[in-house]
Structure 1
Amino acid sequence: MTGSAPPTAEDPSKYRLPTDVKPTHYDLTIRTDLENLKFDGFVIVHLNIVKDTSTIEFNVNVTELHLGELILSSPALETSSVHPASDLKIDAKQERAILALSSTLPAGTTATMKVGFEGPLAASMLGYYRSAWEHEGQTKHYSVTQFGPTAARRVFPCWDEPLLKATFTVVLVSRENMVPLSNMPSVNEEIHSPDSKDESDTASWLTATLAAAPDTDTVPWKITTFAMTPPMSTYIVVFANGPFTFIEDSYKSPLSGKSRPLRVYTTPDLIHQARFALDVMRDVLPHYERVFDIEYPLPKLDTLVVTDSDVSAMENWGLITGRTSAFLLDPKKADLSARKHVAAVQSHEVAHMWFGNITTMAWWDTVYLNEGFASLMGEIIILDKLFPEWNLHAEFISGRLNNALNLDAKLSSHPIEVECPDANMINQIFDALSYSKAASVLRMLSRYVGEERFLKGVSLYLKDHRFGNSVSEDLWAGVGKATGIDIPKMMDNWVKKIGFPVVTVKDVEGGIHVRQDRFLETGAAPVEHNETIWTIPLSILTVSTDGKAVIDSGVVLDTREKTILLDTSKPYKLNAGSIGVYRVLYANDRLEKIADEAAKKASVFSLEDRIGLLNDAPALAKAGCIKTSGVLSLIYKLREASEFLVVDSMAGSLESIISTWWEHEDITEKLNLIRRQIFAPIVKRLGYEYPDGESVDDRQLRTRAITAAAFAGDKDVVKELTDRFAYFMKTGDNSNIPADLERMAIWMAVQHGGRAEYDAVKAIAIKPPTPSAGISAMIGLGLAQSDELADETLNYLLNDVRDQDLIFVFAGFRLNPKFVKYGCQKFRDNYDVLAKRLSGTMTLQRIVQHIHETLSSKADHEDACNFFNTKDTSKFSMALQQTYDTILARAAWIARSTADIKEWLDANALE
């Protein structure tokens, strides 16, 4: 069972609000009752009547939100009309309400709609929800919003579409000892008194509300009014209420010289881990302003770190929110991967202040204009200015680019720009295509036209659409203006068409012949799926007479095939620097020559070239384009490599094969022997300590080699890690476990230990000293080898794990060959309970995909289909189809290549 691109909706009016009425401003009052875990309030929406209308149509999700009466006022009406909520016609599927009016509102007039509402502060991680934290042995709660992409309508009636921007004045009513937060700074705060002369809408409403329910008036309430926002979309509105504390700093705008305050908020028990995130926010902001020549427009920027979140982080304007693992780390004991993750997330979210907040996509079909840019700018271009030693441009290849190509190689992929006919589809496109493929094609464009000219074009684009909305053509216009190049001609098919090409290269007399076809992980693309012709920058690397690399960036392949003059007697390679979003297929003899050159100490091929080769090889083997033994030979030739990212790509290529043949013990045993032969010598050379002043490359290389050798069962490495954890268990002193080895020490302790080690790791999971330690421990529990401990882990998962963390425990089962299918089966056994817990979140589809995509047989595929055919999968249908494709592709790879792998291993996997 496979799928293709989602169908394009025929009529946008079926899923888009009519534009005869548009909001211009919201006066929004929310009261937060943390004692009773509920909220209430009212909204006054100021409307422009664009066309004559006798209906008012807006978004609202009434699953849990209860509406009061609606009061419509307009200068065009003699009197205000009052409507009970029962007057509304509700479209539950599209989450819309229609109010029929007794008379027509004429075009060119204005109106206001006032609506009261109330709802629960559920543990839903959507809308306005509660998050839990432990304080002095008791579970306490605070509240925070998650409105992206379509959850503002869960909290108040609104025009919940990105195009329908308006200004907001938010008023929060909270207990006097709580800290209220929103997009803008507060401009007034006062304790409410029924005797107050304050005659504002909020004060009057609160007085009447408290009079009707005096039991809620036992502790004083305060009213906090926040400054009015610029025009903005509903999905980046934010408010929160709780016992927050903060650390603060500021930055000085390089454009205006103005100083802005910056804060990170969280609960008091965690605030000591927030400094690094604050430093990154402070340091990246001036770079963004200089690059785009646009000053950050709000008077402050905060980050709120929460303990429950469906997404890693959310770019609410002026108040970023996100998980502890995204923003916190122990300043005294933080591994490099945690630092890189926090820096990337924080910089990514700050990038959204421009990409998404200042300029917003007109509709969700171009969400890549937000996410692709934030991924490229936030995680690579800007962050590299802070941490050049991290080699982020090269790391992008094995991270963002390779992940994008792996997903896009499926028949069930979708274009970067894809129609989104309902909320279910919108949630599903926040995937590696909207983030990583989009970032990759933008990176390719940037390198092709030159980064300086590209960024100048982006600046023009942002300025032309400041506080407005945009589509792809607007971006191309900006870059075209800065470069003089016909950008749509090059980019349209990369963005609007599904898939990507493989460029097949053959040596011919006097040069090379190149041909492009759509690449699929299952093999040659059928004719009906191979119609797109991409404009491909070939970026050909050749060697000069003095032995230096020469790169021709001007050659493009914009036809099905062509012949290019080239001296094939010397080394050459396409896609120099691995800039292009495509894979390259060479003839076997040419690939051998390229591999030989890549293995040289002074190779003309760059670090990026070798990473690209190692990423292409297993993908081409999986598709049947080359033999899998060729992948193993390539890795074997490069086994003396000493750069972290090359070794990391080698390890990843081996892991992709092992994770496919995980049920073939005879093969995995020999593959693990190869892993031990490659990675154990690196461990012996670098040791287990992380001396001050060593290079970032050596630090990462040591961690990667120890990880690969440990999972390959190297006895010395496993003993070293388990001994260090045993000392911690005995003494409580973890100082001999370097931060970068904490994860593997935890995992190996469980995998090679028993009850005592399991209990020690479970204690870390329950009360983690840092977010990264907690995640490592949750994953580690799934690595236990006994049935008893697997059942205990499942019980812990179902009863004690936060919803946002369920995927980590399932990930442990996925990493454990003995319990991969156990994890799948237990997920299915408890599916109804888990689906209810995770209803509406993105977490459910991620778990479905994560735990099933490691399956590798047609029988597994059939079992999965039979199960999910009995369930409502509309909220994750795309991810499910991609998972089905993955299982079948892995099964086909096994059928095609098992004999080939065995033959190579018999000849090379020798003790």
Structure 2
Amino acid sequence: MAATHRLPANVKPTHYDLVVLTDLTQSKYFGTVTINLDILTEGTFIAFNVTELILKDAILISPSSTELFTGSSFQIDREREWDLDDTMLGFYRSSWINEGKEQYYALTQFEPISARKAFPCWDEPQLKAIFSITMISRENTVNLSNMSVASEETYVPVKGATDDLAWVSRILEEDGLQCEDKWKITKFQTTPPMSTYLVAYANGPFTFIESCYKSPLSGKVKPLRFYGTPDLTFQGQYSLDVVQKVLPIYEEIFQIEYPLPKLDTLVASAFDAGAMENWGLIAGKAKALLLDPNQRNLNTMKNIATGQSHEVAHMWFGNITTMAWWDNLYLNEGFASLMGEVIVLSEIYPEWKVDAAFISTALDRALCLDAKLSSHPIETPVPDAHMIHQMFDVLSYKKAASVLRMLSNFVGEDLFLKGVSTYLKAHLYDNSVTEDLWNAISEVTGLDITFVMDNWVKKMGFPVITVTETEHGILIRQDRFLETGIAESKDNETIWAVPLFFLTVSQDGKPLIDKQLILDSREKFINLDVSKSYKLNAGTFGVYRVMYPTERLTKIALESAQEHSPFSFQDRIGLILDARALAKAGLIPTSNVLTLINAIAKSEKEGLVWSTIADTLEDLTSTWFEQQDIVDSLNDFRGRLFGPLVDSLGYEYAENELAEMTEIRTKAISVAAEAGDKTVINELLMRFRASLNNVEGSTADLKLPPDLVRPACIVAGRYGNREDFEALKALTLETNSPSKAWSAMHGTTAVQNINLAQETFDHILTNAREQDFVYYFHGFYLNYRTRQFFSDAFMQNFDIIAKKFEGNFAIRMLIDFAHGGLSRKEDHQKIEAFYKTKDTSKFNMVLKQSLDSILAKHVWIKRSTSDIRDWLLAT
């Protein structure tokens, strides 16, 4: 990063003493901060980070009047009150409805660079310090922060006071905040050394539910609480249960005790990201944290468990050991994704088969993005503040997790985790870079991990391994894979060290997997009897695609579907996803994908494979959405595959049925409805209408199981009448069950009438909460009928939307949803021309990726329309 965007290295803060006065009645806050400094280089100036704050008094106390010395301190007051705004950044306000009235509470969101919006600070991750936080608030509210409360007492303002809090009395008097009101002062314990982006505090009418866990390392019992406004707190029990289960597992894996005295979770109605790993005070939006006890659907349970386990993983990855700078963000997010969403989650929910699900939900998503020329390396330079925000993408999370998962399976999970523990212990309360991690795992395994991993992290893209069979074996070759084909020579220079996970079959039919075989050159010949079964990337652990000769692909697919196959169902998932990507790139006919799916589906029993089939066919239908004859034929094919599943599984969910059964049923019903199955559509519409008439305790509500709420709402929006549409609009305002509200949002965007689509879009701009935009926009993205309308409407209102989300994470998703579904060259030209007149610095990467997606789909359609049409007509 250029020096002008980084603070000079002459000063390091060591201790912040932060006092915050919050008045929710007037939506204002005030504060002072005193910062102790280490002066690393003597000088005559200091520089720090601050934004949107007008400072009154800045007092530097130093042993010298002309030079800065270690032991200096820096004290800053605010000039006037600051409004608690609605930006979801810094110290901001959120709201809830209490007895029909809107009321407010306040909380922080500092990652990545918004601590400077709340108080002057050295706002870089490497500049760790300890924090003593004091909060002053009205007595009938609750104060929360990273640490436990050290003391709390009534505060009585005294006119003319001269003590350390005299400024509080003065402010209460000057600003007309009546001194006779009851106030309190809450002091929190001092934190360990931490980065500013992890500082957190909140004030509001919070209630809580609580639990605890016992440390397996020390035997200490530590409290766990879930906080929220009174209308939401009761829905936090499942989130609390997940935290209680995963914390001791992390301690045992890393052999490092969770160091803080408590761990709280706070749900907020207004929150930009999904959730945030504030040390000791996780915060997040309702969708990420709440499970209505009366609406326990499996998808919501999975999302909450995944998210909470991810955030708890950050207590070690990011909070104890922190990346030195944002170019190493993946050391936080990639590890939290792998540890939280796969390794630890599989221990508490083995029935979910999360490692296999990771192939579709993470690995494939990462490869699809990384197959674009507009991709970027996992570790990439961060030249300015706008780039920092854009680093929070699929590559920093999902590709990084995929690369680490590949390494874990290459060296063995036990050794991998031992190396990770070594890495964490070497950098407790400190910062780290990539080489620190590789060195620790090398120390444990005795392998040159830097040689194996360097290009996976520091180079853009990934390879496709092309297999050519000969009489005596196979020739394998690696080239950079792009969604438009094999990269040209100028973009095809990287040679990755590729763990091949090479599977062969023993004499008795058992799989033998060589995990140590690496392709670290352009080509390699492997001696092999090609009359027998073999496969690269067994288990789909590798971060690459594999292209076999057509006959071999067919043979592997047929054999993988057999009852005692040496190939796993994870292999079948990988085969389908690779085939789709290769077809899009023009390396195999698209009809091969359909043939592969047809062969596998005939005897498939695994829910995750069915989910992969459904998603692949949805991708094809979504790409050809403007060719109605192909859409109709693909829908017919989808109906033939999934209709029988609906017939056999029905619409009722047993209370204790296997998670996989629940997932298959929900997926089959959803796909059949999307494909236009009239029986399924009528059934869901009937159940939706019946459920609207329910009253507390009635049986009507049973007609719509929680897992069917979303598909039923979409059917009601797509095929229902005006009365159904109005019912959906009313449901979007449901506050007691946020999950129903999100489903209804998708329903209102599933409409086929453009006038209704315009009505929904107008509602979003004028009435929807900012945190709900992403759900509405995703619904429009999924609706083929309104894609063109939605893209145009977004551009017509771009200035309004961009202003609403200035500086927020959400703007990148909104851009992608608005344009990423289109596929015509003229769409590309129109969108590209529009943004030439706009400031795109905060989302230029995702805009380029969306434009690349449009062109890639355009080329795919042009190349493969005849092929896919012929196959569908012949089937």
**Same fold (TM > 0.5):** yes
2:59 is equivalent to residue 71 of structure 1: yes
Whole-angstrom distance in 2 between the partners of 1:721 and 1:269: 30
* Structure 2 counterparts to residues 283-362 of structure 1, below 5 A: 283-362=245-324
- 1:516 maps to a residue whose letter is Q
SS state at 1:839 partner: coil
Question: 354, 364, 384: which is aligned to 2:326?
Answer: 364
2:100 is equivalent to residue 137 of structure 1: yes
Whole-angstrom distance in 1 between the partners of 2:459 and 2:377: 5
Deviates more, 1:733-742 or 1:366-375: 733-742
> Contact 1:115–1:157 (CA<8 Å) still a contact in 2?
no
Q: Tell me how far 1:731 sits from its aligned partner.
A: 4.3
* Structure 2 counterparts to residues 741-780 of structure 1, below 5 A: 741-780=708-747
1:23-50 deviations in Å (ceiling 9; x for gaps):
0000111111212212111111111111
Question: Which residue matches 2:837?
Answer: 870
Q: Tell me how far 1:200 sits from its aligned partner.
A: 5.3
Q: Tell me how far 1:794 sits from its aligned partner.
A: 1.4
Question: Which residue matches 1:673?
Answer: 636
Question: Which residue matches 2:34?
Answer: 44
Whole-angstrom distance in 2 between the partners of 1:587 and 1:261: 58
> Contact 1:186–1:224 (CA<8 Å) still a contact in 2?
yes
> Contact 2:109–2:200 (CA<8 Å) still a contact in 1?
yes
| Residues 801 and 214 (structure 1), Cα distance of their counterparts in 2 relative to 1, 3 Å cut | closer
SS state at 1:766 partner: coil
- 2:371 maps to a residue whose letter is A
> Contact 1:70–1:116 (CA<8 Å) still a contact in 2?
no
Question: Which residue matches 1:895?
Answer: 862
* Structure 2 counterparts to residues 88-127 of structure 1, below 5 A: 103-106=66-69, 108-116=70-78, 118-127=81-90
Question: Which residue matches 2:121?
Answer: 158
Question: 559, 565, 574: which is aligned to 1:597?
Answer: 559
Whole-angstrom distance in 2 between the partners of 1:142 and 1:603: 58
TM-score (norm 2): 0.98
2:253 is equivalent to residue 253 of structure 1: no
SS state at 2:701 partner: coil
Q: Tell me how far 1:198 sits from its aligned partner.
A: 9.1
1:670-717 deviations in Å (ceiling 9; x for gaps):
000000000001111111111133222111111111111110001111
Question: 571, 576, 579: which is aligned to 2:538?
Answer: 576
SS state at 2:704 partner: coil
* Structure 2 counterparts to residues 442-841 of structure 1, below 5 A: 442-640=404-602, 641-732=604-695, 733-841=700-808
Q: Which 5+ residue runs of structure 2 have no aligned equivalent?
A: none
Q: Tell me how far 1:736 sits from its aligned partner.
A: 1.2
1:340-393 deviations in Å (ceiling 9; x for gaps):
111111110000000000000000000100000000001111111111111011
Question: Which residue matches 2:874?
Answer: 907
Question: Which residue matches 1:92?
Answer: none
1:755-787 deviations in Å (ceiling 9; x for gaps):
111111111111244222111111110111223
Question: Which residue matches 1:6?
Answer: none
> Contact 1:66–1:119 (CA<8 Å) still a contact in 2?
no
Whole-angstrom distance in 2 between the partners of 1:672 and 1:124: 42
Question: Which residue matches 1:846?
Answer: 813
Question: 407, 422, 427: which is aligned to 2:389?
Answer: 427
Deviates more, 1:628-637 or 1:36-45: 36-45
Whole-angstrom distance in 2 between the partners of 1:690 and 1:109: 66
Q: Tell me how far 1:216 sits from its aligned partner.
A: 4.5
1:139-195 deviations in Å (ceiling 9; x for gaps):
111001000000001111100000000000011111111101100111111222234
2:12 is equivalent to residue 26 of structure 1: no
| Residues 585 and 746 (structure 1), Cα distance of their counterparts in 2 relative to 1, 3 Å cut | same
After TM superposition, the runs of 4+ consecutive aligned structure 1 residues lying more than 4 A away are: 195-200
1:784-836 deviations in Å (ceiling 9; x for gaps):
12233222211210111110111211222222222111111111111111111
Question: Which residue matches 1:3?
Answer: none
> Contact 1:518–1:532 (CA<8 Å) still a contact in 2?
yes
Q: Which 5+ residue runs of structure 1 have no aligned equivalent?
A: 1-8, 78-102
Whole-angstrom distance in 1 between the partners of 2:425 and 2:775: 42
- 2:228 maps to a residue whose letter is T
| Residues 392 and 489 (structure 1), Cα distance of their counterparts in 2 relative to 1, 3 Å cut | same
Deviates more, 1:779-788 or 1:708-717: 779-788
SS state at 1:788 partner: helix
1:379-416 deviations in Å (ceiling 9; x for gaps):
11111111111101101111110110011000010000
CA RMSD across the alignment: 1.4
- 1:851 maps to a residue whose letter is A
> Contact 1:264–1:274 (CA<8 Å) still a contact in 2?
yes
SS state at 1:304 partner: strand
Deviates more, 1:712-721 or 1:160-169: 712-721
Q: Tell me how far 1:730 sits from its aligned partner.
A: 4.1
1:448-488 deviations in Å (ceiling 9; x for gaps):
10100100010010000000000001111111111111110
Whole-angstrom distance in 2 between the partners of 1:584 and 1:407: 17
Question: 169, 186, 200: which is aligned to 1:224?
Answer: 186
Question: 377, 381, 384: which is aligned to 2:346?
Answer: 384
Whole-angstrom distance in 1 between the partners of 2:163 and 2:729: 52
> Contact 1:49–1:111 (CA<8 Å) still a contact in 2?
no
> Contact 1:778–1:809 (CA<8 Å) still a contact in 2?
yes
> Contact 2:823–2:857 (CA<8 Å) still a contact in 1?
yes
1:266-286 deviations in Å (ceiling 9; x for gaps):
000111111010011111100
SS state at 1:614 partner: helix
| Residues 229 and 198 (structure 1), Cα distance of their counterparts in 2 relative to 1, 3 Å cut | farther
SS state at 1:56 partner: coil
SS state at 1:399 partner: helix
> Contact 2:157–2:179 (CA<8 Å) still a contact in 1?
no
> Contact 1:44–1:112 (CA<8 Å) still a contact in 2?
yes
- 1:477 maps to a residue whose letter is N
Whole-angstrom distance in 2 between the partners of 1:212 and 1:129: 23
Whole-angstrom distance in 2 between the partners of 1:737 and 1:725: 7
- 2:330 maps to a residue whose letter is Y
- 2:592 maps to a residue whose letter is G
> Contact 2:754–2:789 (CA<8 Å) still a contact in 1?
no
